[in-house]
Amino acid sequence: MARLHLVRHGETTANVMRRLDTALPGAALTDFGARQGARFGLENRPEREAVLFSSEARRARQTAELIGSVWDVHTEAVDGVHEVQAGELEDRSDREAHHVFHDVMEKWHAGDLDVRIPGGESLAMVYDRYIPTVDDLARSYLTGTEPRDVFLVSHGAAIRLIAARLAGIDSRFAAATHLGNTGSIELEYADGIWVCHRWGAETAPFDRVDEPLVDDPMG
């Protein structure tokens, strides 16, 4: 059965500096981030025919291009799957900005879809732009007589929120389980149902985690 792989981009300077970098086009990969992208390609060669997409963000496109160069697969950027928009917190790395972002993310994971990051997005807004793109990819590639795996290079906070929504993952597990740079979540789609098989290094079934949101909410 064909699967969707949501892949977080490689490391950027903003990641190293803990800077809230969400607006397009965003930061580029560090040298280490580029090596992460190439290593993902080497270690995750698809077992069946696959397609490779990314968000419009520079770091995601670069990561996808590095993976595609290893697989000899064309890459394409798609709309709607960029990172949660930080609004007034954009480009900040101070404790207060991280506290505000962290607080909103905790409320989202607790089920409040309408609370917004100041000047930025609500979770409902993230769902409204991201899920239709995933639905289009599912219809085009994961179903039919010749299904193909889909690899979508995207962003840590958005990936965890979307994967939890699609597959009905416990919100505390999603909030507490980190997804490092080039970490990925693997989902299967059949008969209109999404099933999560792997979340980073964790494999299903996923237990409830009574821990707080990871310190780096972007991951």
Report strand pairing: 50-54 vs 75-77: parallel
Predicted confidence (pLDDT) at residue 163 exceeds the cutoff of 80 = yes
Q: Report the range of poorest mean pLDDT among 157-161, 195-199, 205-209.
A: 205-209
Q: Higher pLDDT residue, 47 or 213?
A: 47
* Identity of the residue numbered 138: A
Q: What pLDDT, in 10s, does the model give residues 27-52?
A: 999 999 999 999 999 999 998 899 99
For residues 164-180, average pLDDT: 89
pLDDT at 47: 86
3, 11, 200, 206, 214 from 197: Cα distances, Å: 9, 25, 10, 9, 21
129 annotated as belonging to a binding site for a ligand: no
Q: Higher pLDDT residue, 134 or 204?
A: 134
- The pLDDT > 70 percentage for the chain reads 93
Report strand pairing: 75-77 vs 149-154: unpaired
3-state helix, strand, coil in the chain (%, to 5): 40, 20, 40
* Identity of the residue numbered 188: E
10 annotated as belonging to a binding site for a ligand: yes
Q: Please report which confidence band the pLDDT of residue 77 belongs to, taking 50, 70 and 90 as the band edges.
A: very high
15 annotated as belonging to a binding site for a ligand: yes
pLDDT at 2: 87
Identify the DSSP state of 211.
Answer: S
12 annotated as belonging to a binding site for a ligand: yes
Q: What pLDDT, in 10s, does the model give residues 81-129?
A: 999 999 999 999 999 999 999 999 989 988 899 999 999 999 999 999 9
Query: What whole-number distance in Å separates Cα of residue 171 and Cα of residue 56?
Result: 27
pLDDT at 92: 96
**Domains detected in the chain:** 3-203 (3.40.50.1240)
13 annotated as belonging to a binding site for a ligand: yes
Predicted confidence (pLDDT) at residue 209 exceeds the cutoff of 80 = no
177 annotated as belonging to a binding site for a ligand: no
The pair of three-digit structure tokens given for residue 34, joined into one six-digit string: 């580029």
